């Protein structure tokens, strides 16, 4: 059995999976960053037009979002958000001597370690 997910947590999770900041999402939606923050903290719900726009941007159906709002969607507790790390960040870390173990090398998790020879 899973845990019910709030719309705010769902929006935050999907935004991070799309490697977007709140500001980038706000710009795509033509709303303020504080509006996105408000939705993600369950301080409010997007209006109809914004809900449609948001669904399109984060790649889900409006029906799915309505199901979440109605409390009909559960997730397993062990489900996790993909790490929000870009190739640029990986290259930067590696340039400073960190070894970045990519998800396919470590069961889906990105691990950053200091290289042995540089400790």
Write the burial class of residue 6 (CB in 10 Å: 0-12 exposed, 13-18 middle, 19+ buried).
middle
pLDDT top residue among 41 and 113: 41
SS3 category, 16: helix
DSSP assignment of 23-85: HHHHHHHTS-HHHHHHHHTTS----HHHHHHHHHHHT--HHHHHHHHTT--EE-TT--PPP--
The two tokens of residue 29 are 């939606």
Distances (CA, A) of 101 to 77, 98, 107, 113, 118: 24, 10, 10, 8, 17
Q: Would you say residue 106 has pLDDT above 70?
A: no
pLDDT of residue 82: 52
Per-residue pLDDT of 19-59, as tens digits, reads 889 999 999 999 999 999 999 999 999 999 999 999 999 98
Mean pLDDT of 66-92: 69
State mean pLDDT over 7-29. 91
């Amino acid at each position: 059995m899973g845990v019910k997910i709030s719309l705010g947590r769902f929006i935050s999770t999907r935004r991070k999976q799309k490697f977007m900041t709140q500001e980038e999402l706000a710009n795509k939606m033509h709303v303020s960053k504080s509006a996105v923050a408000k939705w993600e903290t369950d301080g409010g719900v997007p209006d109809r037009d914004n809900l449609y726009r948001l669904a399109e941007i984060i790649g889900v159906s409006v029906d799915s979002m309505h199901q979440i709002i109605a409390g009909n969607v559960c997730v397993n507790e062990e489900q996790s958000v993909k790490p929000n790390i870009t190739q640029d960040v990986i290259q930067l870390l590696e340039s400073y001597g960190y070894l970045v173990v990519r998800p396919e090398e470590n069961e889906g998790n990105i691990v950053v370690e200091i290289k042995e020879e540089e400790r």
